[in-house]
Amino acid sequence: MAPTRKPNDGLLARVNFPLYAIEMLTSRHVLVAGGGGASKTGVANGFEIYEIYHNGEKYVADEVIRHETGPTVVMNCAIKNDEKRTLLVAGQESHCQMYFVNPIISSTDGEVCGGRTETIDGVRKRKNISYQPQANGQINQQATEKKNNVEQKEHIRQQIHFEIKTGDSVQTDFTESEPLQRVVRISPNGRIMATGGMDGHIRLWNFPKMTMITDIPAHTKEIDDLDFSPDSKNVVSIAKDGLGVIWSINPEKESRKLSWNPPEGTRYLLKRCRYGIIEGQKDKHRLFSLANPFAKSGKAKGLLQQWDPEQGRLTRVVEIDESLAALAVRDDGRFVAVGTMFSGSVSIYIAFSLQRVLHIPNAHAMFVTGLEFLPVTNFDGPSVTGDTEAAVLSISVDNRVCVHSLQYRHSLPAWVAIFAIVAILFITFCFCSYIGL
């Protein structure tokens, strides 16, 4: 059985609006987006950026900036981050809105400590928290001193702020009644943007110019998800018409359908799709998808699927006890995470074998709307480090941002290793005594 969460995992931040989208902005900054829609409920629409760090004991999130988008909720988004600038594209009803998220970097001397942030002369610093009360009211001075010792190693730290400016907007869905962009993706090479919506069309756009390249009438019903292959040569789409198709960016090449035989004749609909590189082989990749039983299918289970995208062939399947809602693949292709529909649970799997290595039941009060791994391969600076093998962030319409970390796994339990060492020493001693040494 997979281990459950560490005691210090769980809630990172709470936002005052439902969350629908999550993306890593940099190796240390995460953007979460959502809102309450156009209804006059007083619930805001927009996105927030948090800095994630590890204080020596647990992961912590500090709010950096909040941006509200007026009456339009942000249902989906994608980010392209390079050495010169960061571009955010957000699905706001029938349109895709571009934002320029410009980093402003400053340096500050002195210790960096956990806690909430304050601004001093325009520079964002964390307040020094010297003591933390335990449940029994006593002061855990030893733990605090340990944390401060870790934090004091950062004598000079770069502080990153963000300036957000609104850019172009283009209509991406043309359904006659209530048009809505369902998903947007940017190709890994940063040259193409793909959008899908209620009308079932995939539209490819020059990026960042946002001029249309082609309009593909891909599906007869609304598109649920899209993703680009790591080499930017293909885009996969899944929709409520039950189809999953891998489309070639080169129009001269044929598309490939994802074909499989559902178990026990149950009808399934694909829900989410994500490409991932094969660890250690960046020129090769896998495709992962989620599938849920259609309508009332009795005790049919949700499926985590692994595909060979070159053949459109299913290679591995794992059954999960309930319907699935969210999917993420880590940037090095080593781990896959899934979030459930009803219990709000999160699990992490090894990508190549689909073996579950972490399960967090009831991570959220409602269904999981998004997952994002803390990255391990980045050009924009060091990633967040901690005493964990992997960590995934999750969001939900319960307004919460949570973290779930996988501790380093050992091939043998500690007591087995100790017993083996003692046994080897004893045998060696007996052997030496036997031969007269």
DSSP string, 90-159: EEETTEEEEEEEEEEEEEEES---SS-EEEETTEEEEPP----B-TTS-B-HHHHHHHHHHHTT-SEEEE
Q: Using CA atoms, how far apart are residues 165 and 192, in angstroms rounded to an integer?
A: 21
Tens-digit pLDDT profile for residues 83-119:
678 999 999 999 999 999 998 877 654 443 333 333 3
Q: DSSP string of 206-234?
A: ETTTTEEEEEE---SS-EEEEEE-TTSSE
pLDDT at 326: 98
Highest mean pLDDT among 41-50, 277-286, 318-327: 318-327
Structure tokens at 163: 């300036």
CB 408 within 8 A of CB 389: yes
pLDDT at 413: 57
Q: Calculate the alpha carbon distances from 146 to 137, 151, 152, 219, 420 in Å.
A: 19, 9, 10, 57, 33
Highest mean pLDDT among 112-121, 126-135, 198-207, 245-254: 198-207
What is the chain's length? 437
Q: pTM (2 decimals)?
A: 0.81
Residue type, 11: L
CATH code linked to domain 10-110+155-434: 2.130.10.10
pLDDT at 113: 39
Q: Using CA atoms, how far apart are residues 104 and 161, in angstroms rounded to an integer?
A: 5
Residue 435's pLDDT band (boundaries 50, 70, 90)?
confident
Residue type, 56: G
pLDDT at 3: 55
CB atoms within 10 A of CB 415: 8
Minimum mean pLDDT range among 108-122, 229-243, 395-409:
108-122
Q: Which residue has the tokens 């990026």?
A: 207
Q: Supply the mean pLDDT for the chain.
A: 84
Residue type, 408: Y
CB 207 within 8 A of CB 193: yes
Q: Using CA atoms, how far apart are residues 360 and 257, in angstroms rounded to an integer?
A: 33
57 pLDDT higher than 90: no
Residue type, 213: I
Tens-digit pLDDT profile for residues 340-389:
999 999 999 999 999 999 999 999 999 999 999 999 977 677 778 778 89
Q: Using CA atoms, how far apart are residues 167 and 297, in angstroms rounded to an integer?
A: 45
CB atoms within 10 A of CB 352: 16
Helix (H, G, I), strand (E, B) or coil at 311: coil
Q: Using CA atoms, how far apart are residues 358 and 352, in angstroms rounded to an integer?
A: 15
Quick one: average pLDDT of 19-41?
Answer: 90
Highest mean pLDDT among 123-127, 401-405, 420-424: 401-405
Residue 254's pLDDT band (boundaries 50, 70, 90)?
confident
Quick one: average pLDDT of 145-166?
Answer: 59
19 pLDDT higher than 60: yes
pLDDT at 134: 35
pLDDT at 123: 34
CB 185 within 8 A of CB 197: no
pLDDT at 434: 77
Quick one: average pLDDT of 322-328?
Answer: 96
Minimum mean pLDDT range among 34-43, 147-156, 295-304, 411-420:
147-156
CB 12 within 8 A of CB 402: yes
Q: Using CA atoms, how far apart are residues 329 and 390, in angstroms rounded to an integer?
A: 11
125 pLDDT higher than 50: no
Tens-digit pLDDT profile for residues 263-322:
777 889 999 999 999 977 777 899 999 999 987 655 779 999 999 999 889 999 999 999
